[in-house]
Structure 1
């Protein structure tokens, strides 16, 4: 009788322990929210370097460089009134980001991650026309830009995605990004139809006033980052069962 009770006790402890942990790739994460957040942070940081070359077995393409086919920005309020478009944009640096913290809020169906990107370098084609701080600007040509020390907060609203003959997967219903950047530098070729003096003066002005300009253009940039993070979140979350994270 004692042996039978011992066996049932062991089984009970094993089943209880199994429910207290979540498999996330090669990581076994505790279910408790604070510990789960730390474990997900470590798991993501081990996964991020693979983004440089991509993870074909999971359908995740290379992001070094990350290609953005087109991006349009229209800002017509405040000191900036500019319509601009960017095409064939390549971005280097996403795979160097580090996740600093992950907060899991199961009852709210929410995950909040803070991360740091040391540097993003962009280049491509641009076309713009309008006014910056009351100064006229126009150009059409090549551009390059560098963003240093980016701190971002990514907020994910969690949901469910049905799976055939299996438990529902975790899903990213909505993703929002807020970021702060320490410094921006840029260079626009062929400003004012190739006028060298005017072009050099405007590039100097842009780099000296990047803080004022970046505040006005922050919303479009956050939308661009959102487009980058959403597919990554979709993939990462789809590896987890919804019932492992979500509370009723």
Structure 2
């Protein structure tokens, strides 16, 4: 996800170089024409993404391994299962394996749209769960591990203006939307109904056999968490740029 923030920090070059034939993007000389520019930005981002695990200091990008998600909560009530669960102190590894599949630049509408593929995200943390499985009470608290794989992410960034004291507007991240789809998922909850090991095994089996339902329940909380994580960084990156240098009056 840090590649998106790096992209945010260079959007000023994208929109501010309308009168130039090429744009210098991290050493890549990209054509100004929008379609060619999008392809060039994709190639440039993919060249540097492997460095994201340890950070890219020259672009102000800190390490992204692990990515921290403070908390998630899920309420699931489908078929034989009815549970409420929460997940805290979640660490996520795998963002640095992402590949940018496509970048579209829409200068007229002040948008950047990126399509990203992540092979796998591995999560660990603490869970708390209570509910029923086939009308049987089930609860648990402890460590959990999970994997999400074949993830397709769409990030849409809309630029805007923010007034400041000296009368000049700065660039702002007016809107940032994150949408993703998961190809497969698995989860393992430890100490689940530890007084009845068979019930814990059955619950873990059910969750993994019905991973799509769990992924659907987690999608909105995860998208919200990613938005809340990315938005302040985007605001900070854009607030250093004069809006008139980039946007039409």
TM-score (normalizing by structure 2): 0.77
Q: 2:140 — aligned with what?
A: 139
Q: Distance in 1 between matches of 2:179 and 2:108?
A: 23
Number of residue pairs matched by the alignment: 231
Kept in 1, the 8 Å contact 2:18–2:32? The answer is: no
**Partner-residue secondary structure (3-state), 1:64:** coil
- Aligned-pair CA distance for 1:169: 6.5
CA distance in 1, matches of 2:164, 2:60: 18
Q: Any unmatched runs of 5+ in structure 2?
A: 1-16
Partner of 1:212, secondary structure, is helix
**8 Å CA contact retained: 1:75, 1:217:** no
User: TM-score if structure 1 supplies the norm length?
Assistant: 0.77
C-alpha distance in 2 between matches for 1:164 and 1:24: 31
User: What is the distance in 2 between the residues matched to 1:28 and 1:164?
Assistant: 36
Structure 2 counterpart of 1:6: none
Q: Give 1:19 shift.
A: 2.2
CA RMSD of aligned residues (A): 3.2
Q: Spell out, residue by residue over 1:47-69, the C-alpha distance to the aligned partner (whole angstroms, 9 max, x if none).
A: 3222100134544321112223x
Distance in 2 between residues matched to 1:107 and 1:133, nearest whole Å: 55
Measure, in 1, the Cα distance between the counterparts of 2:61 and 2:110.
25
Q: Give the aligned partner of residue 186 of structure 2.
A: 185
Shift of 1:138: 2.1
What residue is the counterpart of 1:67 in the other structure? 68
Counterpart for residue 89 of structure 1: 90
> In terms of Rg, which structure is larger?
1
Greater CA deviation, 130-139 or 99-108? Answer: 130-139
The corresponding residue for 2:32 is 31
Deviations 1:123-178 (A, max 9, x none): 1111122357877542100000011110111111113468999x976542221111
Contact 1:157 1:173 in 2 (8 A): yes
Gaps of 5+ in 1: 1-15
